[in-house]
Chain A
Amino acid sequence: MSTYAQKKGFGATVWDFLTTVDHKKIAILYLLAGGLFFLVGGLEAVFIRIQLAVPNNDFVSAGAFNEIITMHGTTMIFLAAMPILFGFMNAVMPLQIGARDVAFPFLNALGFWLFFFGGVFLNLSWFMGGAPDAGWTSYASLAIHSKGHGIDFYVLGLQISGLGTLIGGINFLVTIINMRAPGMTYMRMPLFTWTTFVASALILFAFPPLTVGLVLMMFDRMFGSNFFVVANGGNTVIWEHLFWIFGHPEVYILVLPAFGIFSEIFSTFSRKRLFGYSSMVFATVLIGFLGFMVWAHHMFTTGLGPVANAIFAVATMAIGVPTGIKIFNWLFTMWGGSVKFTAPMHWAFAFIPSFIMGGVTGVMLAAAAADYQYHDTYFVVAHFHYVIVGGVVFSIFAGVQYWWPKIFGTMLNETLGKLTFWLFFIGFHMTFFIQHFLGLWGMPRRVFTYLPGQGFDTANMISSIGALFMSLGVIVLLINVVVTSVKNVKVGDDPWGDGRTLEWAIPSPPPFYNFKQLPLVRGLDAFWIEKMEGKKGMTPAEPLGDIHMPNASFLPFVIAFGLFIAAFGALYNGEHSWAIPVIVIGLLVTFGSMLVRSVKDDHGFHIHKEELMDDNDKGVKA
């Protein structure tokens, strides 16, 4: 395509990204924005560890510390981990099922811009009178009484970005249900696609309760309602339920795609079919299902009674079974394989013991009676960081290294990649392993400082030094990105040489229509099958024909921006006279542009056969 290969000015590139509906460009936007928020959240983590490095420290004040821990958790979960995983899903999943785009390209862009504006709104709180300070769980009993606008930023920002996530989830579901290439049955889908599918289903059912919780909190704080005002009949436990009915599935929304990434990496670099593929799929679905049955294990000490606690404890322990199935399958995938220790494989290999430790402490915490001891101590902090860093963040590093060539057309440096791994791996265990013991020794979580001579001093110092190592690891990754981008050595379709799935059968980066002809899928690891039979690429399932593509649009940006404006109105409701007009204007922008979207026909456009044949002669230059 001549228009695509053209050199563009900076302004044109920016406009291109503001209006794009191409899943591969939206993926880059997700990775960029998510990466940026990851750095912000990481910086907050460093501040926490500096403050706690020595007893009686006054690096930050108690109030600021509350804001920092709240924003660290909120940013990492909602604005870093999930968007980066969404970036991978966007970049890879449609390619893995042999689709030309997602089901709703326009909504895909809308989902991104909603997440982005929600995230920006949340972080503006730092500059507009203080960030939220009631913890990332924002329990109503604290949040209702928090002074200033911090909580309001949390409530409004998360509503906007949550809407984007929900839209993204529905989009991925429909894409996988309706747009698989000929022959790509459900039981031939790569595991990353499967985990995307199940995680999206979890998003669909888990985000509405969060939205309701946030709406109730918004009504209470800004519009005078009484859901959580006990004196007027309210009940703060409702928030805890709604939050955790969302919050627990959220853990699996994060970790299932991580499992998917590692499954791809294990089988690619063991150069072996994934062991127990169908049990992997079964375990994924089962984890997704059980994920909704365990939310009250976060509330063992709320006082729901022994029967409720017992039921939720048993359900929680049951999740260990499908997770165990997965662990063994990964081990057996490597068993007898011809294992290549690339940088992504380092992460995958280290993930297994790290994540198991998080799982073991998870079962310990699930024992309701024992939980009364662990609750609100550093033991819990250690547990969920082992799961989320040891699982999700490891997978993000692994995925970045693994799919970078497919997304950007050039390989990250392997040596620097391994250096990042060792720095981060050592730093991670140094920071969090000792925290198990800090918790058992009695150090409560969320305290801004502690007195000397309680036996916490050395352990906290060790933990803080670990954080330094992790930061160094991230810095090496950034250097790696810069060095690689400057060198920009172009790579071919299958740069690892061991690609098994469809994304490795097309150029890196793929042309904007992905597949010139939809591929015929003949089994699991579709591309590997063809390679083993001595073929260079996939057999096409259709003759060369016109390709239907969606039009770019600026409307997603505007729709999301309208809500961003309205959120400022809601924030200052009852305080300034302009608040209501601003809400109205913002909503008018949003609903007005939705109206424009519905009355203006958008049939997309066709790439004609002749242009595609041209590409054949010149080779695709995407």
Chain B
Amino acid sequence: MHAEEKLTYESWPAEPERSTLEAKNKFTGFWLFLGGETVLFSSLFATYLALKDKVPDSSMPLAKDLFELPLTFVATMLLLTSSLTSVYAIYQMKNFNFKKMMLWFGITALLGAAFLGSEVYEFTNYVHEGHKFTSSAFGSAFYTLVGFHGGHVAFGLMWCLTLMIRNAKRGLNLYNAPKFYVFSLYWHFIDVVWVFIFSVVYLMGMVG
């Protein structure tokens, strides 16, 4: 199959993300890249755990003073739901239903943006409470780990929007289907990272 072929619902392959050599390469390469990203985040988690609650003087807030369950819960729900909607989008992509795919990706992007909004709100609150990037090793490690994740979400948003705008008028083909698929992989990955942030940073922060 060729990337430029015009396809119909009937001729659309079962795995459009892997049906050309270029697509197969992209698919394999992206999985490997996510392997590297896993190590990147592991290093950040390790750093965070080593520096958790390490502050220069006792007047500074610690993890248990800072984190609040309701806001974290909202953020988690937003991001987890956006992962689900991106699954629907890929389902529609495999069904060769371009419009519905775009709709679901649109919802995914909205949820992602809402998550980022809640994170900005959260960070602003912390800064007011004296928990800053430059105030302590704890602050540096916290904002670096959670901020790296937030940066990944922001990059993912731009990626999603670029894909949607670029392909708005031309429908699905074997050239752009792998691109949508790879984006959804990325989106799931940052969702998984968030699950770990939720457990290690927030839950362990409030309990431990």
Residues on A facing B (Cβ under 8 Å): 103-104, 166, 170-171, 173-174, 177-179, 204-205, 207-209, 211-213, 215-216, 219-220, 223-227, 229, 231-235, 238, 241-242, 245, 595, 598-599, 601, 603
Contact = CB atoms under 8 A, between A and B. Distances in A.
Interface stretch (B46-54, B64-72, B102-110, B186-194): B46-54
B25 A103 contact: yes
Contacts of A235: 50-51, 54, 137
Contact of A174 (B29, B56, B135, B141): B29
B6 interface: no
Contacts of B163: 598
Given A229-B137, A598-B162, 5 more contacts: A208-B36, A208-B37, A227-B47, A233-B54, A235-B137
B137 A226 contact: yes
A216 B144 contact: yes
A219 B134 CA distance: 9
Contact of B36 (A104, A171, A207): A207
Nearest to B176: A601
Contacts of B51: 227, 233-235, 238
B7 interface: no
Nearest to A234: B137
B121 interface: no
B32 A204 contact: yes
A601 B166 CA distance: 10
Contacts of A245: 43
Given A204-B32, A233-B55, A227 B37 contact: no
Contacts of A603: 3-4, 175
A178 B43 contact: no
B24 interface: yes
A212 B43 contact: yes
B133 A225 contact: yes
B39 A104 contact: no
Nearest to B167: A599
Tell me the interface secondary structure of chain B in the complex. Answer: helix
A227 B137 contact: yes
B137 A173 contact: no
Most buried by B among A207, A226, A238: A226
B21 interface: yes
B28 A174 contact: yes
Tell me the interface secondary structure of chain A in the complex. Answer: helix
Contacts of B28: 103, 173-174, 177-178
B136 A208 contact: no
Contacts of B118: none
Interface in B115-146: 133-141, 144
Given A170-B36, A242-B43, A224 B133 contact: yes
B40 interface: yes
Contact of A227 (B32, B135, B141, B175): B141
Contact of A208 (B40, B54, B133): B40
B35 interface: yes
Contacts of A170: 29, 32-33, 36
A454 to B, nearest CB: 41
A232 B132 CA distance: 12
Contacts of B55: 232-233
Interface in B140-194: 140-141, 144, 162-163, 166, 175, 179
Contact of B137 (A213, A233, A601): A233
B44 interface: yes
A509 to B, nearest CB: 24
Given A209-B39, A225-B144, A229-B137, A178 B3 contact: no
Contacts of B39: 204-205, 208-209
A60 to B, nearest CB: 36
A423 to B, nearest CB: 41
A205 B175 contact: no
B21 A178 contact: yes
22 contacts: A103-B28, A166-B36, A178-B24, A205-B35, A208-B36, A212-B40, A212-B43, A212-B44, A213-B43, A216-B47, A224-B133, A229-B137, A232-B56, A233-B55, A233-B138, A234-B51, A234-B140, A235-B137, A238-B50, A241-B46, A598-B163, A601-B175
